[in-house]
Amino acid sequence: MKTMKSALAVMSLGMIASANASEAPKKEKRTSDPSRPNVLIIYADDLGYGDLQCYGAKNVETPNVNRLADNGIRFTHAYATAATSTPSRYSMLTGHYSWRRPDTDIAPGDAGMIIRPEQYTMADMFKSAGYATCAIGKWHLGLGDKTGTQDWNAQLPAALGDLGFDYSYIMAATADRVPCVFSENGHIANYDPSAPIEVSYKENFPGEPTGKDNPELLYNLKPTFGHDMSIVNGISRIGYMKGGGKALWKDENIADSITAHAIDFIKEKGNEPFFMYFATNDVHVPRFPHDRFRGKNKMGLRGDAIAQFDWCVGQLVKTLEDMKILDNTIIIISSDNGPVLNDGYDDHAQELLNGHSPTGELRGSKYSLYEGGTRVPVIVHWPQGKLNKGENKTVLSQIDLVASFAGFLGVSMPKGSAQDSFNRMDNWLGRDMTSRPWVIQQGYDHTLAIRVPDWKYVEASTFPKMKPRGAYVETGCAPVQQLFDMSKTYEETNVAQEHPEEVGKLHLLLEMIRKGNYNELPANEMP
């Protein structure tokens, strides 16, 4: 009897081993199939066109990003859709221009979900193609149903799981906004029941210190304007918060935390196709990187934050290498908008540039309709895809990522979804050098600009020339229509009066796009 049982056990183990052996090649085949590569979007925050070494940055080294650029495509005319964070992220993830909706401005930390559960997202698209999906890092697109109604002490009834993400480990907004805790799959990570969380963007909670009233408690960073409300980790923020306890983050550990969770996801899902949206807080304020980086860069904390971003990239790449899946992973590195220096904290970013230009030769910055506001670094790396490596001057827009990957994977998107996104995958892979006929740029005040290969048109606006509050930067706005010659890198001279016919053409084109009349566009003006 024992012999029979033993024999059966051996047979069972043999069958299991055989089954496992037969399954292993299938998994390996999936990860090496170039028609189903992993996709990793690394989305920096406030990283300028000129902030990476491979784009000509001074005073900062970015070896990990450089390596991907050297072995991939480095685009020089790629655009985010907006000059601020929330609208550019919304547009990229939905394929729907944010300015078509009134509620997509820079979101507070207690904003309700800006992307609604019924909307089709990039994550939905990848999930329908059989991919494991996740979002890690900065979110800034709202959580829960309605603004200011979230119960941060319970499972949120609406979160990223409703938007196609299998897993999420995110900051509700930015590091300078409360709540200063991570949300993991709609529940506060490391929740501390002894310190229930309350959040308000209207009034402070009785007895809670603020940066305005208690500057002596600001032992890490002090504000220059705004950012003087609740204090967490010796840094005052936008908005009021009470509680959190052990769940509160330390700014110097944010990069480590999101990177560790990203690595865990890759290790868990590495034998099947996965899509990861990895959005760092670097180089957004408050800039307070880990001790490993702080004080190492001559540009001060902003330079240290860029170095920390590069480290995050290196850690993810190493994990992919160790798992032998780097070659068949499409990595896209980019930024949500252009750079800004003094954006609310006294970190001496302006004073310590030492010859570095965050926008390179471009005019403008974050918040601006000038090129420095929306032209961003874009690097694409995919060894198995046999990319046409090197510098690429093709004009492209992040709005097209949803439709491009859908076309690449053979996914049929629901009618009416991603209405502003078009399949330009051959552009992203460097196989077609034909530029997008036009790109739309959105400024801080919703004023729009349209760039075509030779010209850039900016509609007239009554918004001030300089941003009225906070960072003192050019908005790119003027009470008259503007036209710039794009054969020149720097937008110095408005030539609208000299070329009224071009102004008329581009004004009409912009209005047709604004109304969504793509079917009426001539074939040569369709994306």
Per residue, the 3-state secondary structure of 2-30, as one string, reads HHHHHHHHHHHHHHHHHHHHHHHHHHHHH
Tokens of 20: 């496992």
Q: CA gyration radius for the chain? A: 24
**Angle separating helix axes 254-269 and 301-322, nearest 10 degrees:** 10
Q: Please tell me the predicted confidence (pLDDT) of residue 93.
A: 98
DSSP assignments along 214-233, one per residue:
-GGG-SSB-BSSS--SBEET
Euclidean distance between CA atoms 435 and 70, whole angstroms: 22
Q: Please tell me the predicted confidence (pLDDT) of residue 11.
A: 38
Q: Please tell me the predicted confidence (pLDDT) of residue 31.
A: 58
CA angle 450, 462, 510 (to 5 degrees): 20
Alpha carbon of residue 508 to chain centroid: 31
Euclidean distance between CA atoms 236 and 238, whole angstroms: 7
Are the C-beta atoms of residues 449 and 440 closer than 8 Å to each other? yes
Euclidean distance between CA atoms 453 and 445, whole angstroms: 25
Q: Please tell me the predicted confidence (pLDDT) of residue 12.
A: 39
Are the C-beta atoms of residues 281 and 174 closer than 8 Å to each other? yes
Euclidean distance between CA atoms 446 and 433, whole angstroms: 30
Q: Please tell me the predicted confidence (pLDDT) of residue 270.
A: 85
CA angle 225, 230, 231 (to 5 degrees): 90
Euclidean distance between CA atoms 32 and 129, whole angstroms: 16
Output the tens digit of pLDDT for each of the chain's 527 residues: 333 333 333 333 343 333 343 343 344 445 578 899 999 999 999 999 999 999 999 999 999 999 999 999 999 999 999 999 999 999 999 999 999 998 999 999 999 999 999 999 999 999 999 999 999 999 999 999 999 999 999 999 999 999 999 999 999 999 999 999 999 999 999 999 999 999 999 999 999 999 999 999 999 999 999 999 999 999 999 999 999 999 999 999 999 999 999 999 999 998 899 999 999 999 999 999 999 999 999 999 999 999 999 999 999 999 999 999 999 999 999 999 999 999 999 999 999 999 999 999 999 999 999 999 999 999 999 999 999 999 999 999 999 999 999 999 999 999 999 999 999 999 999 999 999 999 999 999 999 999 999 999 999 999 999 998 777 899 999 999 999 999 999 999 999 999 999 999 999 999 999 999 999 999 999 99
Where is 64: in which H helix or E strand?
helix 63-70
Please name which of 517, 514, 520, 524 lies closest in space to residue 98, comparing C-alpha atoms: 514
The DSSP secondary-structure symbol of 345 reads: B
Euclidean distance between CA atoms 168 and 261, whole angstroms: 9
Q: What domains appear along the chain, each with residue ranges and CATH number?
A: 37-436 (3.40.720.10), 440-525 (3.30.1120)
Within 10 angstroms of residue 61's Cβ, the number of other Cβ atoms is: 16
As a residue count, the chain comes to 527
